[in-house]
Amino acid sequence: MSFLSSTTRRSVLGLALSASISLVTGAAWSQSASYPSRPVRLIVPFAPGGTTDIFARLIGEKLSQSLGQQFIIENRGGAGGNIGTDAVAKADPDGYTLVMGTVGTHAINPSLYAKMPYDALNDFAPVAFVAGVPNLMVVSPKKVKATNVQEFIAEAKAASGKMTMASSGNGTSIHLSGELFKQMTGIEMPHVPYRGSGPAVNDLIGGQVDVMFDNLPSSIEQVRSGNLRALAVTSSKRSPAIPDKPTLAEAGLPGFEASSWFALFAPKGTPPEITSKLNQEVRKALETPELQKRFADLGGEIKPMSPDELMAYVKAEHEKWAKVVKTSGAKID
């Protein structure tokens, strides 16, 4: 019977370990190189019809074309976007489940909700920034007579708390924009949260609610058609998509600024080769004349970012909105 020396045993074990690592690395490379080999779920954590949904469908269609697999939009609204976002945080990190995250799901909610089902900074792999947009103060022509911000303030104060303010859900930038407006004007308006901008805008058009600080893309066509009346934008500068409307700061509320943004995220642990590939494809899609024009028409500001740049941006936004939420006193159990 022969026995291996300790040195030989270590050499054999080292070769076996190296072979195993090579196999695993090779398998991971092969998986990433062939990605995607089946349809990809792109979860929108809000109801259909809102800005998150609009942007997801525009990007999803382009990715389907460029990568040869369907990017299937799945709307899973509720809890200010937390339900759908949490589903992605807990999904397999293989690149086949993504979320269209927002300033709400990844920057506001962590400070607003007493209990969060996911960690916005540590449970996701950043993929690609899509666009930033201002919010738009819109009113129902069926319920509101005001044609500018100061007229609205006077009308709302005279209504003594009977006017209602809609939003796409508790804790969204749409909700907090409205809360900031109420604080700065002293107006009392009950908040009516919906499961996304789509149903909220429908009720605003119908006159069931009075005002909303909606993401510009999901309201602008209704403004252009006359179904809603726009009074101002919430950003620090006027929007090229609706240049005749002043900022709220210009309209008499100096210092008012609240904007939204949208970005793609994958579950933590998704191979960087996959997130990098998706990042490149999203950026290519956003460079096409078709999407450049579409986003401009909707008021979306495209900002190309690498996954690392997106992570740094989200961290900064996380800190910024934590201060805003604390100052506002808003809290959701």
Over 50: is that where the pLDDT of 1 sits?
A: no
Q: What is the mean pLDDT of the chain?
A: 91
Please give the pLDDT value at position 25.
47
User: Do 73 and 138 belong to one domain?
Assistant: no
Instruction: Give the pLDDT mean for 270-279.
Output: 98
Same domain, 174 and 209: yes
Q: For the chain, what is the domain count?
A: 2
Q: Which of 29-43, 140-154, 210-224 has the lowest mean pLDDT?
A: 29-43
Contacts of 118 (CB under 8 A, 6+ apart): 82, 85, 86, 89, 90, 124
CATH number at 214 reads 3.40.190.10
The tokens for 268 are: 């933590």
| Rounded alpha-carbon distances, angstroms, from residue 88 to 84, 117, 156, 308 | 7, 11, 41, 19
Q: Does some domain include residue 253?
A: no
On the question of pLDDT at 18 being above 70, the answer is: no
In this prediction, residue 332 carries a pLDDT of 85
Name the β-bridge partners of 229: 139
User: Which residues on neighbouring strands pair with residue 232, listed in sequence order?
Assistant: 137
In a domain, 17, yes or no: no
Q: Which residue has the higher pLDDT, 279 or 30?
A: 279
d(CA 318, CA 122): 12
pLDDT of amino acid 30: 54
Partners of 130 in beta bridges: none
Cα(121)–Cα(159) distance, integer angstroms: 42
> Is residue 222 a part of any domain in this protein?
yes
Confidence band (pLDDT; 50, 70, 90) for 26? Answer: low
Residue 136 C-alpha from the chain's centroid? 16
* Distance, CA of 66 to CA of 300 (rounded, Å): 22
Residue 301: domain span: 38-132+260-328
Same domain, 116 and 153: no
The per-residue pLDDT for 10 is 57
Domain contains 20: no
Query: Is 185 a domain residue?
Result: yes
Do 213 and 236 meet the contact criterion of CB atoms below 8 Å apart? no
The stretch 8-32 carries a mean pLDDT of 54
3-state secondary structure of 111: helix
Segment 102-138, tens digit of pLDDT: 999 999 999 999 999 999 999 999 999 999 999 999 9
**Residue where a domain terminates, one of 214, 233, 252:** 233
**Residue 108 domain-assigned?**
yes
What Cα–Cα distance (Å) separates residue 152 from each residue in 169, 197, 226?
23, 22, 18
Convert the pLDDT of each residue in 237-248 to its tens digit.
999 999 999 999
Q: Is 7 exposed, middle or buried (0-12, 13-18, 19+ CB in 10 A)?
A: exposed
158 and 306 fall within a common domain? no
Assess whether 126 and 269 both reside in one domain: yes
What is the rounded average pLDDT of the residues 312-328? 88
The predicted pLDDT at position 264 comes to 98
Does a structural domain hold residue 6?
no
Q: Tell me which of 196, 216, 233 is where a domain ends.
A: 233
Of 29 and 141, the one with more pLDDT: 141
Residues 147 and 61 grouped into a single domain:
no
Pair (225, 284) in one structural domain: no
For residue range 183-199, list pLDDT tens digits in order.
899 999 999 999 889 99
Write phi, then psi, for 193 (nearest 5 degrees): -80, 140
Question: Is residue 5 scored above 60 in pLDDT?
Answer: no
Q: Are strands 165-167 and 191-193 parallel, antiparallel or unpaired?
A: parallel
- Residue 221 CA: distances (Å) to CA of 21, 168, 201, 227: 55, 17, 11, 9
First to last CA, the chain: 71
Residues whose CB is less than 8 angstroms from the CB of residue 290 and which lie 6 or more positions away in sequence, other chains included: none
Residue 2: per-residue pLDDT: 47
Domain co-membership, 127 together with 138 = no
Strands 124-139 and 229-233: antiparallel
* pTM for this prediction: 0.80
264: domain CATH number? 3.40.190.150
- Is 26 contained in some domain? no
**Strand partners for 233:** 136, 247
Domain boundary among 218, 233, 248: 233
Residues 143 and 281 in one domain: no
CA distance 221 to 54: 12
Place 33 in a pLDDT band, splitting at 50, 70 and 90.
confident
Question: In this structure, are 141 and 224 located in the same domain?
Answer: yes
User: Is 225 in the same domain as 304?
Assistant: no
The residues that bridge with 261 in the sheet, in sequence order, are: 132
Read off the pLDDT of each residue in 203-223 and give the average, rounded to a whole number: 96
